[in-house]
Structure 1
């Protein structure tokens, strides 16, 4: 068994609920993707990027030690608050320092919504069908109980539609659809996801703050006539992710050019501005090329868009 970053399965967006024989439907939780690796010696928790986040989630690490050695799970870490999942609280947990993490785990306990098993007691099961892996997952986790739990699943499209229509009040983003006969598609966008329209991808064309301490993103949302919008303040974990992405972009740029460099007649151009509610004209640093981000936003009549994550996979 290796603890190098796991290439997780991905999902392609669809606009309507897929129907047909041999399909399974799962609710899409509003949390952070996490791979749980129960090694022969201990537990390693990995973010989707491959970054180790074990120290930030000591409660989940402790629960995962009850798993058989050499077991790997794929799923989502969520934090429940007032009867719904709270993405901001998940971000707070993920950004915790090792010193702060134990107290946060007591105040904001995390749950792990597992939706797949990749390795079980040393046996690689990724080549087996989803239907078989699902049975193994349920048999493994149900006896253990919370905070490690299998996500709900149904093969009934009508029940899935009911979930889609009624569960957003609980923080459910939408549905993930899988084929029952499908092996685990490592690194491929072979699953399908139906998300509520308030969650979508946007182009991040700039940022406020500094490259080392970015504060917010300037976004262009599809269907908004390319009018830039200033996001709500980024959560600490996202600020760190953006700063890292900016460092990587600078390192990859040709000599003498940075991704945000713009000049006029050889002189630095005046910084562009974005109109922000309550702030007026706010200067920002442009990004060229833009980054991709997943945001939650219904329309320009609603509060500023909330950045959920950077889409470094695009």
Structure 2
């Protein structure tokens, strides 16, 4: 435990959208927000644009966008999804009802000086100095950090009961920042049993999906089935139907058959879809050696902010068996 404490730092993991923040005096305005997939989304968050006067020029921060729902008095991922899709007058109206916050957890550039090659410990120190020197207040928030395992354990046990706080992220103190890479030096620890998977097939129809057949890539990059969901609720089915795309030629599961339950021979009537949607799932720990869940999986929600490369890889296993 002592070596773990010396080599890493833990921060709370918030349930939001990852984003990169830029400040500039250029023609695009003083604030730019870039989503994980590269699109600029500052027009969806006029409240953050208006608050950019607190920030210095030449700043690049990595962080999480979250939204506070004034009606429920808590962080709301659903309200964030609505805001991320809104523009113009609708975006302004939603900003008044569900204000956004940017929770900064890394500094990539300060005062125009690039910090990517610095170890995380030094980037974090400069981020803390920035918040103190500029006396930054909401909507700009500094993500809490600790190197104390006892404090991290307290956060995991107590703060994950708060809606919008999913768990912890453990980061190596001596690592530089790697743009565009899924940093394997960062480990996510959730208190609950939620995870991510890729939607590769469905039962029902594209307009009314009933079940999802989910997969993950193995170490060779091959998409392996890992399980199926329980029947979708009507609202979830409607949400998914808006984003499902019929499979193109060359789908990795072409010709595969999927069973209705682990260990049975009953075959599902499935439709292959483009494997480009990430689903958040809830499942138990009954998993075989190939990473296949033995019991049906609970669909939680669609993760439009996540890419398939963000989904953990499975350990392999047969390509045409899914429970």
Shorter-normalised TM range: 0.7 to 0.9
CA contact (8 A) 2:229 2:298 kept: no
What residue is the counterpart of 1:146 in the other structure?
A: 138
What residue is the counterpart of 2:287 in the other structure?
A: none
Q: 2:272 aligns with which of 286, 291, 314?
A: 286
- Partners of 2:119 and 2:252 in 1: CA distance: 46
- By how many angstroms is 1:108 displaced? 0.3
- Partners of 1:46 and 1:137 in 2: CA distance: 19
SS in 2 for 1:181: coil
- By how many angstroms is 1:237 displaced? 9.1
Please list, as runs of the form range in 1=range in 2, the aligned pairs for 1:266-305 lying within 5 A after superposition: 285-287=271-273, 290-291=275-276, 293-298=278-283, 304-305=299-300
- Partners of 1:100 and 1:273 in 2: CA distance: 45
- Count of residue pairs brought into register by the alignment: 272
Please list, as runs of the form range in 1=range in 2, the aligned pairs for 1:139-218 lying within 5 A after superposition: 139-142=129-132, 143-170=135-162, 171-186=164-179, 187-189=181-183, 190-207=185-202, 210=206, 218=212
The Cα offsets for residues 259-287 of structure 1, whole Å up to 9 and x where unpaired, read as 499689xxxxxxx9989xxxxxx986323
Unmatched runs of 5 consecutive residues or more in structure 2: 217-224, 262-267, 285-294, 311-323
- By how many angstroms is 1:130 displaced? 1.6
- By how many angstroms is 1:181 displaced? 2.4
Change in Cα spacing, 1:46 to 1:234, as seen in structure 2 (3 Å) is farther
CA contact (8 A) 1:260 1:287 kept: no
SS in 1 for 2:80: helix
Please list, as runs of the form range in 1=range in 2, the aligned pairs for 1:237-276 lying within 5 A after superposition: 242=243, 246=245, 250=248, 257=249, 259=251
What residue is the counterpart of 2:230 in the other structure?
A: 229
What residue is the counterpart of 2:44 in the other structure?
A: 56
Question: Which structure dedicates a bigger proportion of its chain to strand?
Answer: 1
CA contact (8 A) 1:92 1:235 kept: no
CA contact (8 A) 1:230 1:305 kept: no
- By how many angstroms is 1:216 displaced? 7.9
Q: TM-score, structure 2 length as denominator?
A: 0.70
**1 or 2 for the larger relative contact order (CA 8 Å, sep ≥6)?**
1
Q: TM-score, structure 1 length as denominator?
A: 0.72
What residue is the counterpart of 1:311 in the other structure?
A: 307
The Cα offsets for residues 189-219 of structure 1, whole Å up to 9 and x where unpaired, read as 2312112343202241325664xx7878714
CA contact (8 A) 1:77 1:111 kept: yes
Over aligned residue pairs, what C-alpha RMSD do you find? 3.8
CA contact (8 A) 1:45 1:61 kept: no
- Partners of 1:236 and 1:33 in 2: CA distance: 25
Shifted more, 92-101 versus 299-308: the winner is 299-308
What residue is the counterpart of 1:10 in the other structure?
A: none
Q: Stretches of 4+ moved more than 6 A in 1?
A: 213-217, 235-240, 260-264, 272-275, 300-303
